[in-house]
Structures are given as structure tokens and as C-alpha cells.
């Protein structure tokens, strides 16, 4: 171990981002116990491992820091030491770990320490006894990481096949922690990735032969395939994120009882024509196919969720919301599709319900979600998939207030209505029980 002036330690730009909370925890630990685990540097004072510890020491005003010095001869060996140090850490997310596995493999291959398929790890290809350390097989590399061979190989597939820009989006979400979700995204757009790789190979060949026209053609084909791959992977991420948010929403709903005390609140007495404000939501008492309801709607709703009714008079929804989802029993949808002119995009059957999705603009269909059950689960999934926080959602039929309550739980703004006064009354009462807030009759306020 050596004491080194803290300002002499060089930090390279490719290091992992700092976690402020971790730095704060280390500062407290170092103040109490000292630096228990020295940082690691090479003989040129380049930091190999311990950025959080080094930062904590700097913030505490240390002028020197205890270091373990490794005699690294080149950049590849330095980076290997850094990767090995990072892989010991338990807080790595699945995506981060997969990227380190792939990078480590590439470095070992570059310096001749990675056994290729069919190669004896103890000899060189010519059959001569190697003087350098034996190259490592996939099985050995997996064992070194503490994972089995299949998990290790799939992890490298994740790191290699997910588009770099998609990775950056993933790193801001809980999906980064899920190996199975990452693998699903990595496999999205597989055909397009293979097309891109083939075009890139042909472009290299054309470049070597100085065929400029062919080079440009293949480069354009590769770019188009990569763009499509990225689109499909973002769609897969969107579906996975929506599925998780929907499940979390329903789970929290089950944990937190709806029946809260509302003894201090006035229960609603609704009449046709009323407009009730439920904090930021609006509930209209009347026919939601009439102009009066339509005029209340925002001009930029993200989503409308409607149940199929007879007669259906709600084709106007497609001009009020970017996406319209119609829920119906499976046997009733064919007649609906033939009679009405909303631009159909795709369909699902979830938990015995048919969901038809309509939009003026083409939208990519995510994979069918797994484990989404019940009306509230389906509603939560649709809201997660097609809306963001504070977006507007239209519900022209109240049912049991599934859309209204889900919007309340998930931070969306609901414009709802129904001509059935019992359903309106029940929806407002349910919202009041859930929030412990009191609904306001806008008609009385205007009077």
C-alpha cells in the first residue's frame, strides 16, 4: 500500500457515473472508521477502481489517499483490472453487469486470453505449448462471475444486441435491473439487426474494393435496418414498462383499502346535466354522445377508453384522443368493426376481453402483456402504455369507475361521463372514499 497525493490521481472519462447517496454514505463511514478499502491505481497514477471512495476523501478534505498500486503495462490490462473490481460490487444492475461481461470478453480476445470455439485452452492454434497464461473458455469466464454459462451468454447477448440509444433510455428505468426484460428487448428487431449486420459487412467489402456506389447503398440499408431495430426495441421497452406500472398500480390498489372513512364528507346527489369536479377530474351527468359533453373535453387527450355499447355513437372519440381503446366481449366486436369507421390498428384478447385499438396515426403493437387480469388491470395497462403523468384520459362510460380511479392512482386527468345517474353517483362516492376529498358540483357553483 502507498500514500499518494490525492490530486495526482487521474480519473478517466469512461468511468461509471457517481451515485451521490453512496458518496455521502462513504463520507460518514470514512469519518468514523477511516478508509477501510484503499483505492486502486496503476503505476502512472490512473484510477482503476474506487471513484466513490476517492470522491468521498476529496470532499472530506484529504490531501493524501491510501492506494493499492497495480503494475499495469497497457490500457487493456488497466481496464480489465477496473472491470474485475466493478464486477465484485453487488449493486450492479443487470444491464450494467452485461455490458461489463461483453467488454471483458472483447479485451481478453484482443490480448489473446480468450479461448475461441474449438480451440484448446492450454495450447496455441499451432499445437505448440503456450508460454503465456492459458486462454479462458466461456464456462470459465461464467464461473468467475458467479453465474452459469447460459446466463453469462445471454447477458452478453443483451449488451451486444440492444441499440446504444435504447440502452440509455433503459438506464433510467427499473427495466435495467431485470435480466428477463432486457433479454426480451434484445431479441426485439432480431431480423432487422441481422439485416443491418449483413449490410455493414457488404459495405466494408465495397469500401475495400473502392466501390463507392455500392458502399453508399449498403450504408443506407444498414442505417434503415438499425433505425427499425431501434424502433422495435423502444416499443418492447414501452410495453414492458407499461406492464410493470400496471401491475404495480393494481397491487398497490389491493394493498390500500378503498373503503376509507368519509363521515366528514357530503355524499353526492346527482342530477342530469350536472358537471362534477373531482379535484382535477371532471364527471358529466348525461349522454356523452351529445355536444355538451364533447365541448367539455380537452383538445389533446392522449387516450380514450370506452366499453362497447348499443347503440354506439362515439366515433367522435378518434378526433378527441390520439388513441382510442374499445373494450368488448369477444363475440361482439366484428359487427362493431364493420359498422364504424374509426381507423383500426390492432387488437388483443386479455382475460376474456377483446380490446380494439384505433388511431389516426400508425402505432406499433407491443407484445401481448402477461399476467394482466381484470378490468382494472387492463385499464391500468392501457393508461401506462399510451399516456404519461398529467395526460388527459377520456372515459365516456363510467362502469364501476375503473378508469377514473386508475387515473387518480396513476396521476392522469380523467374526463368521464355517463347518463346513468346510479353509476355517476357510485363513481363520485368511490372517488371520495379513495381520496377523502369532496367533489364539487360545478353547475351549482356557476349558479
Ordered mean pLDDT values, 10 residues apiece, the chain (447 residues): 89 74 90 89 85 92 90 78 78 90 91 72 48 76 88 95 94 90 94 96 93 94 96 92 86 54 64 92 95 93 89 90 88 64 86 88 84 88 93 95 94 95 93 90 64
How do residues 387-411 score in pLDDT, each as one tens digit?
999 999 999 999 999 999 999 999 9
Is residue 104 in some structural domain?
yes
Report yes or no on whether pTM surpasses 0.85. no
Is residue 246 in some structural domain?
yes
Task: Clarify whether residues 402 and 378 are in a common domain.
Answer: yes
Is residue 167 in some structural domain?
yes
Q: Which helix (H) or strand (E) holds 284?
A: strand 281-285
Per-residue pLDDT at 127: 44
Helices (H), 20-163: 20-33, 51-59, 75-88, 94-110, 138-145, 149-161
Out of 160, 191, 219, a domain closes at 160
Task: Clarify whether residues 58 and 155 are in a common domain.
Answer: yes
Give the number of domains in the chain. Answer: 3
Out of 132, 160, 188, a domain closes at 160
Pair type for strands 64-70 and 47-49: unpaired
Q: Which residue has the cell 461483453?
A: 102
Cβ distance 181 to 241 under 8 Å? Answer: no
Task: Clarify whether residues 398 and 336 are in a common domain.
Answer: yes
Cβ distance 20 to 55 under 8 Å? Answer: no
Is residue 231 in some structural domain?
yes
Out of 222, 256, 290, a domain closes at 256
Give me the long-range contacts of 88-95 (CB less than 8 A, separation at least 24): 91/22, 93/171, 93/176, 93/177, 94/155, 94/158, 94/176, 94/177, 94/178, 94/179, 94/182, 95/158, 95/159, 95/162, 95/167, 95/170, 95/171, 95/176, 95/177, 95/182
Residue 348: all three cell numbers together: 388483443
Q: Which helix (H) or strand (E) holds 393?
A: strand 392-395
Beta partners for 129? 123
Gap between the Cα atoms of 213 and 202, Å rounded: 12
Phi and psi at residue 290, to the nearest 5°: -85, 160
CATH of the domain at 91: 3.90.1530.10
Is residue 264 in some structural domain?
no
Is residue 267 in some structural domain?
no
Per-residue pLDDT at 333: 61
Gap between the Cα atoms of 401 and 416, Å rounded: 9
Cβ distance 408 to 376 under 8 Å? Answer: no
Task: Clarify whether residues 338 and 349 are in a common domain.
Answer: yes
For residue 132, what are the domain limits? 2-160
Task: Clarify whether residues 11 and 76 are in a common domain.
Answer: yes
Task: Clarify whether residues 400 and 370 are in a common domain.
Answer: yes
| For the chain, counts of helices (H) and of strands (E) | 16, 13
Per-residue pLDDT at 73: 72
Per-residue pLDDT at 253: 61
Task: Clarify whether residues 88 and 183 are in a common domain.
Answer: no
Gap between the Cα atoms of 288 and 423, Å rounded: 13
Task: Clarify whether residues 314 and 199 are in a common domain.
Answer: no
Gap between the Cα atoms of 377 and 350, Å rounded: 10
Q: Which helix (H) or strand (E) holds 239?
A: helix 212-255
Is residue 266 in some structural domain?
no
Task: Clarify whether residues 123 and 44 are in a common domain.
Answer: yes
Task: Clarify whether residues 286 and 244 are in a common domain.
Answer: no
Task: Clarify whether residues 286 and 344 are in a common domain.
Answer: yes
Per-residue pLDDT at 332: 59
Q: Which DSSP symbol is given to 387?
A: -
Q: Which DSSP symbol is given to 123?
A: B
Q: CA 222 → CA 190, 197, 199, 227, distances in Å?
A: 13, 7, 5, 9
Is residue 432 in some structural domain?
yes
Task: Clarify whether residues 12 and 148 are in a common domain.
Answer: yes
CATH of the domain at 354: 3.40.50.150
Amino acid at each position: 500500500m502507498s500514500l499518494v497525493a490525492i490530486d495526482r490521481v487521474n480519473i478517466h472519462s469512461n468511468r461509471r457515473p457517481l451515485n451521490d447517496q453512496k458518496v455521502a454514505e462513504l463520507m460518514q463511514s470514512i469519518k468514523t472508521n477511516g478508509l477501510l478499502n484503499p483505492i486502486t491505481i496503476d503505476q502512472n497514477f490512473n484510477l482503476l477502481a474506487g471513484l466513490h471512495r476517492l470522491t468521498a476523501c476529496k470532499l472530506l478534505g484529504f490531501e493524501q489517499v491510501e492506494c493499492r498500486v497495480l503494475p499495469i503495462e497497457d490500457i487493456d490490462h488497466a481496464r480489465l483490472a477496473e472491470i474485475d473490481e466493478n464486477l465484485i460490487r453487488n449493486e450492479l444492475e443487470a444491464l450494467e453487469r452485461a455490458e461489463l461481461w461483453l467488454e471483458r470478453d472483447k479485451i481478453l480476445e484482443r490480448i489473446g486470453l480468450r479461448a475461441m470455439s474449438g480451440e484448446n485452452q492450454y495450447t496455441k492454434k499451432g499445437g505448440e505449448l503456450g508460454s503465456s497464461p492459458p486462454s479462458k473458455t466461456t464456462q470459465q469466464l461464467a464461473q468467475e462471475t458467479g453465474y452459469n454459462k447460459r446466463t453469462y451468454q445471454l447477458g452478453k447477448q443483451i449488451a451486444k444486441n440492444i441499440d446504444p440509444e435504447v440502452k440509455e433510455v433503459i438506464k433510467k428505468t427499473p427495466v435495467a435491473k431485470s435480466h428477463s426484460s432486457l433479454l426480451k428487448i434484445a431479441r426485439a428487431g432480431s431480423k432487422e439487426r441481422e439485416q443491418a449486420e449483413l449490410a455493414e459487412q457488404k459495405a466494408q467489402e465495397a469500401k475495400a474494393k473502392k466501390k463507392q456506389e455500392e458502399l453508399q447503398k449498403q450504408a443506407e440499408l444498414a442505417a434503415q435496418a438499425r433505425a427499425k431495430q431501434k424502433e422495435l426495441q423502444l416499443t418492447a421497452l414501452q410495453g414492458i414498462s407499461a406492464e410493470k406500472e400496471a401491475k404495480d398500480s393494481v397491487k398497490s390498489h389491493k394493498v390500500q383499502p378503498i373503503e376509507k372513512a368519509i363521515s366528514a364528507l357530503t355524499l353526492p346527489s346527482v342530477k342530469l346535466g350536472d358537471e362534477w369536479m373531482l379535484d382535477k377530474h371532471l364527471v358529466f351527468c348525461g349522454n356523452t354522445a351529445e355536444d355538451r359533453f364533447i365541448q367539455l373535453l380537452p383538445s389533446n387527450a392522449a387516450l380514450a377508453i370506452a366499453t362497447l355499447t348499443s347503440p354506439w355513437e362515439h366515433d367522435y372519440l378518434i378526433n378527441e384522443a390520439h388513441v382510442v381503446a374499445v373494450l368488448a366481449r369477444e363475440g361482439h366486436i366484428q359487427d362493431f368493426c364493420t359498422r364504424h369507421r374509426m381507423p383500426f390498428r390492432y387488437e388483443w384478447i386479455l382475460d376474456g376481453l377483446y380490446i380494439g385499438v384505433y388511431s389516426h396515426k400508425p402505432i406499433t403493437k407491443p407484445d401481448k402483456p402477461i399476467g394482466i387480469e381484470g378490468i382494472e388491470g387492463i385499464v391500468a395497462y392501457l393508461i401506462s402504455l399510451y399516456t404519461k403523468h398529467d395526460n388527459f384520459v377520456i372515459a365516456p362510460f363510467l362502469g364501476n369507475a375503473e378508469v377514473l380511479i386508475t387515473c387518480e392512482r396513476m396521476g392522469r386527468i380523467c374526463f368521464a361521463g355517463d347518463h346513468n345517474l346510479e353509476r355517476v353517483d357510485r363513481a363520485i362516492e368511490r372517488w371520495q372514499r379513495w381520496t377523502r376529498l369532496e367533489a364539487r358540483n360545478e353547475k351549482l357553483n356557476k349558479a
